[in-house]
Chain A
């Protein structure tokens, strides 16, 4: 793991810490990856020893870190400081890694650009006029410009994989339940997973071994069957890769890169099988129905009563709540709460929520069928490369339609890894590999071999001496 060696011990040495801070201070103003940056505070919460001793990492502002703010990019959590730490973060801290700060994101994870954040805009390290993707845009950008070797994000419908693809890095969405969600602010509980943004496959895989495992504080977490992890000797070998085909509606550059990637994989000796995901058109509608329904309940707790944004004045508790939510939430969040409430109304559940759940089951079965024929699946992450900020980019509806490739893994609960596949027009392109549940090792295996031929690109803003 040569890519990690220069980071190890970095923050344990006060002189290096200063050098590090200076580097971040030169890059960060251009990028806007962090909502809060304070490596010294992070140091106080980490173990002084361990395999990751002194390694800086960033945490998406949707994961709780004691002593750091926890805003989820929303005004409604303005000023809220977390009294506890998420399990995934805690495990890294115990291994010696140091939280340097909290990264920007779309409000409550609802977006594909990080532009719905109440606090700031995050720019793509490859082109500052473009978005870093979302919702874990800050985490992906921080990794891409070498501020950290890896960062934690969350992936409900592609929120780690899409910004990873936009920024030219790796983004892992693990099997549902393999990483504890304790401390991950819920957007859609049955879809949310803690994910990893990292600069190399090796770092991604290593961090994954650190954060996975059953947690008593998350009863939906699971200990994966031992065999699935594969030990060195008996590692399963990927032979057949299914490639999602059909009219996918990809941008020309993405389409070209998709073809090239398939060629490279073929040249590595993999059998490339075209597979058709018969339910592809259902992914986004089903995903949004379930996600919004769950979100409408998950976001009900933000009332300004116990924490976060509180309006100046209210006549009574009801008005306090109404004002806090009306002033505290952004438009996209309000839209999703309203839609979620709508699909859960009694008399309408069968038509929307329960129907979506039935289709979700069918989607799972469809993947079971496909994994009978191939070991892993290759698919696009997003139909476009990083788009521009504002009106020149994608409107919210187009962004939702574009989520159809990534949402599949969340609906099916399977692991997926977004990997960089070179540049098109000076911007990175990424694709994703999907595998059966608990088979993350297969994803790393293919991505590692692919990187041997097509190494991950380095963003022009990345002048980090450590990466």
Chain B
């Protein structure tokens, strides 16, 4: 079993006005050799003068990385010849860098790690060589740009961790405003060193990798290199200590042409610059330059504004977005609304125009005004979106826009009430139909009223008034197969049934008689073990449309016991944020065979009539959370919750409310699209992991691995392990979501085999049960446009709130 050690050397160009040792501007993209002077061109007789701003930025970064700051920092000459380096020595730091012994915390796949920072030092950048045919051209515009080098200890193990560290670091320096973090343009550069050795034997031979100009390449190159070195070692070979280059076209690392000799940089203190003393005034300036960093801000957003993990992550990814958000909220806008609008409609407009939020015409003040108008019900959502679009085009306040366009909404109850009466009087048949329980013409009525007011009536007021008038708000019961809507045939077998038995139960109860609208889904009679993607699509879309129509007070779904854990959790992911209760229930026997079904149904209806919003399950007089359900058929038959203690933390749905918006056919296809690529595998001793290869070959890209105890599996080099599956899987873009066969939390801690799984890229699903992971994957696929997005959703949980 091998261990890998990765350290990074990160260089960032500091966003100072002028270069680090002269007053030339730091600016890119200008004509070659225009931002130069005798100093940065290394002319005879010139001397460097240290830019205090650059030193300050250096100290700010070192401080943000929790380094010990040097009270006195010293510059040294690093001597080597290179045509684009004007003096043929680089002014850098060696014995007394700006900061030392810092750390940065990262987390990848639930494994938290404190990566030690070896040092932070300031130096000057070189120019650029351009080789054109048999000409070598030099541009010294970049020469003398302040460059901060951050060196980590070899505390990282896999490419993914390095990628996370680099992304966090990039976000941090952008927050601090010291670097724009652009890897393509080279303002953030990263070299990596990696060594592999037998576990427990310490560092191996160090290989340096260069030419990594995106965080993705860092991940790919490191993982390639670890695999390459492990392969050499396992053949009994030795690793050559060398520098290798990442070849992005071939996705491999390649040895550089061997250098004639190792560099001896002959460091010695720069006699042209006195040591820099960080006095009290300077250190105070450094402290004042520190800002709340992304992670801190995200955590604050989670608690202070009660936002979801995904929204908090979105808002804090860029400091400018977070600032914008907080200014909007400061103007009285509701945080949840502000966050949702920013992440959806505002983002859409920004994408369409190809601009960033700070560069857009939208101001936090106007945005807040718009949101407050919506909050106060002065305009409705659709109008809000139109106003937002105009805010991007015209320099006017929302109030002005509404006024100019005559879009001010009619919210007056009296006015609208009069119109409602008029329309109802005009359509007695329709009123009759609806009173009988057929809601189909509801939309027609709303449309008539809106038409009468020229579209200006507040639709929410219209809905409320209509509901009052027609007493339409009601409970719904959707049957979805199972014994609870079944009956026993002549051979004594339970067969699917319709809703007649259920209707009877409700009609016989004086409390609910005529108060529950029953619909039979999915259209044909099924038992719950027979669910197909089309069935799920039907149920999902009907639920979504009930939620949208707004007439339902609560929804009960009757279901079979054996797959209830799946459908209930799927609904939780999709509709967990519903404002009304969605209650699942089931029965082990058909209604005609005892009181169980009737009791469960009536309890569910009761809960649906008065419970809180979101999805729950009622069975045998108990209420359950919809995720991690397990069914026990022993007497008494009952449900219980897997990892009961943990589930509060895992349960909140990270997804926004599923709004439908799809044809049933296309939803079915989307579900089919994902289930075709999913497979659930329970590991067992002596399992031949290579058998998974045929599944991969057949198109499976998402495995849900039910592991032994909290995250262990065989990963040895043997046919009876998962090794090969992971190896091939990695090449094919296969992902492994891991759950456990025992209760407990899968986080890959504690065992070396679990750690190996983590290294291979397996995704720990914490305390979630296999069934809930499977449905979360289906839900994720409905929100995501790519596999990467699916991964992000799968890893998203609402942290440890509540």
List the interface of chain A (C-beta within 8 A of B): 62-64, 70, 72, 77, 80, 82-84, 86, 181-186, 188-190, 216-220, 293-294, 296-297, 300-303, 305-307, 316-317, 321, 341, 344-346, 349, 353
Contact = CB atoms under 8 A, between A and B. Distances in A.
Nearest to B77: A297
B145 to A, nearest CB: 18
Given A297-B77, A300-B88, A219 B41 contact: no
Contacts of A345: 264, 266
Contacts of A72: 44
Nearest to B86: A301
B611 interface: no
Contact of B81 (A80, A183, A186, A300): A300
A185 B45 contact: yes
A301 B87 contact: yes
**Interface-centre pick from B83, B265, B274 (highest chain A CB count, 10 A):** B83
Given A64-B45, A220-B274, A297-B89, A83 B83 contact: no
B81 A349 contact: no
B372 interface: no
Contact of B272 (A77, A82, A220): A220
B79 A186 contact: no
Contacts of A301: 42, 44, 86-88
Contacts of A307: 43-44
**Interface-centre pick from A185, A296, A306, A316 (highest chain B CB count, 10 A):** A306
Interface residues of B, number: 30
Interface in B621-679: none
B271 interface: yes
B83 A293 contact: no
Contacts of B273: 219-220
B439 interface: no
A306 to B, nearest CB: 6
B136 A77 contact: no
A208 B265 CA distance: 39
B423 interface: no
B83 A64 contact: no
B217 interface: no
Contacts of B278: none
A181 B47 contact: yes
A235 B44 CA distance: 39
A182 B45 contact: yes
Contact of B83 (A220, A302, A305, A346): A305
Given A80-B44, A305-B138, A219 B50 contact: yes
A184 B45 contact: yes
Nearest to B79: A297
Main secondary structure, interface of A, reads: loop
B119 to A, nearest CB: 18
B202 interface: no
A63 B49 CA distance: 19
Nearest to B39: A217
B232 interface: no
B7 to A, nearest CB: 21
A216 B21 CA distance: 11
Contact of A316 (B45, B47, B89, B136): B136
Contact of B47 (A62, A219, A296, A341): A219
B71 interface: no
Interface in B244-269: 264-266, 268
A306 B45 contact: no
Contacts of A303: 81, 83, 88
Given A182-B47, A218-B49, A344-B266, 9 more contacts: A182-B46, A185-B44, A188-B271, A217-B49, A218-B272, A220-B47, A294-B271, A300-B81, A321-B83
A63 B45 contact: yes
B441 interface: no
B52 to A, nearest CB: 11
Contacts of A317: 83, 129, 136
A300 B83 CA distance: 11
17 contacts: A63-B45, A70-B45, A80-B44, A83-B43, A182-B45, A183-B46, A188-B271, A190-B271, A217-B47, A219-B47, A220-B274, A294-B268, A297-B268, A301-B86, A307-B44, A317-B83, A345-B266
Interface string B67-100: 0000000000101010100111100000000000
A49 B86 CA distance: 39
Interface string B31-55: 0000000100111111111100000
A72 B44 CA distance: 9
Interface of B: 38, 41-50, 77, 79, 81, 83, 86-89, 129, 136, 138, 264-266, 268, 271-274
A349 B45 CA distance: 26
Given A184-B45, A219-B47, A344 B271 contact: no
B136 A300 contact: no
B272 to A, nearest CB: 5
Contacts of A296: 79, 266
Nearest to A354: B268
Contacts of A189: 271-272
A70 B266 CA distance: 28
Given A184-B45, A189-B271, A190-B271, A83 B38 contact: yes
Contacts of A294: 268, 271
**What are the 10 closest A-B residue pairs judged by CB atoms, nearest first?**
A300-B88, A189-B271, A344-B266, A190-B271, A185-B44, A185-B45, A317-B83, A301-B42, A64-B45, A183-B45
Given A181-B47, A220-B272, A300 B266 contact: no
**Interface-centre pick from A70, A190, A297 (highest chain B CB count, 10 A):** A297
A321 B136 CA distance: 13
A255 B46 CA distance: 41
Contacts of B268: 293-294, 297, 344, 349, 353
A294 B89 CA distance: 11
Contacts of B45: 62-64, 70, 82, 86, 182-186
Contacts of B50: 219
A171 B491 CA distance: 125
A70 B271 contact: no
A188 B77 CA distance: 13
B54 to A, nearest CB: 14
**Interface-centre pick from B44, B47, B49, B271 (highest chain A CB count, 10 A):** B44
A294 B271 CA distance: 8
Nearest to A71: B44
**Interface-centre pick from B38, B83, B266 (highest chain A CB count, 10 A):** B266
A70 to B, nearest CB: 6
Nearest to A325: B81
A353 B271 CA distance: 13
Contacts of A349: 266, 268
B38 A300 contact: no
B47 A70 contact: no
Contacts of B88: 300-301, 303
B42 A306 contact: yes
B44 A216 contact: no
Given A219-B49, A220-B273, A297-B79, A306 B41 contact: yes
A105 to B, nearest CB: 13
B292 to A, nearest CB: 35
Contacts of A186: 45, 272
Contacts of A181: 47
A416 B282 CA distance: 37
A44 to B, nearest CB: 20
